[in-house]
């Protein structure tokens, strides 16, 4: 990736951060693979700041962060990452983003499958409290 492409991607991600400050606050839940919390892309200090940021977000009442431990050899998320979005009008949609492909999923049957898969993933991951403790432990090791 060239410099401008990276800058565009970073700018887009930063713009999406406003979701954490919306009022009324939406419920936001995330499950993060342990391996991504250990990867030192950008160096040790970048990783430390990322872990600190996750801990800050996890303190918000409307945010739940869970960690899927690497020792969970098989879990419902091995098919790839996805998002479930519940819209203001009550409709639910899914979103997949893999490498160069990004797509919205609106077919109710496919969305239902993604919702069931996400519920399984959350049940297989560490609880939010144990996840915070795990991230704190990683921060101490970094």
Domain layout of the chain by residue ranges: 1-72+126-142, 75-124
Tell me how crowded residue 132 is: count the other CB atoms within 10 A of its CB.
Answer: 19
Containing H/E element for 5? helix 3-16
Give the best-scoring range by mean pLDDT among 5-14, 39-48, 71-80.
39-48
Burial 44-61 (b: 16+ CB within 10 A, else e): eeebeebbeebbebbeee
Pairing between strand 28-33 and 63-68? Answer: parallel
Higher pLDDT, 116 or 101: 116
pLDDT score recorded for residue 56: 95
Higher pLDDT, 3 or 41: 41
pTM: 0.80
Please, which pLDDT band fits residue 22 given cuts at 50, 70 and 90? low
Q: Give residue 35's Cα distance to chain centre.
A: 13
């Amino acid at each position: 990736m060239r410099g401008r492409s990276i800058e565009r991607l970073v700018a887009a991600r930063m713009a999406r951060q406003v979701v954490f400050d919306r009022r009324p606050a939406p419920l936001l839940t995330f499950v993060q693979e342990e391996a991504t919390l250990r990867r030192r892309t950008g160096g040790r200090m970048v990783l430390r700041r990322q872990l600190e940021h996750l801990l800050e977000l996890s303190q918000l009442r409307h945010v739940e962060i869970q960690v899927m431990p690497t020792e969970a050899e098989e879990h419902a998320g091995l098919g790839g990452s996805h998002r479930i979005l519940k819209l203001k009008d009550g409709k639910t949609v899914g979103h997949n983003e893999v490498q160069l492909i990004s797509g919205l999923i609106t077919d109710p049957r496919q969305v239902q499958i993604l919702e069931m898969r996400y519920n399984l993933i959350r049940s297989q991951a560490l609880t939010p409290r144990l996840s915070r403790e795990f991230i704190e432990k990683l921060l101490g090791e970094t």
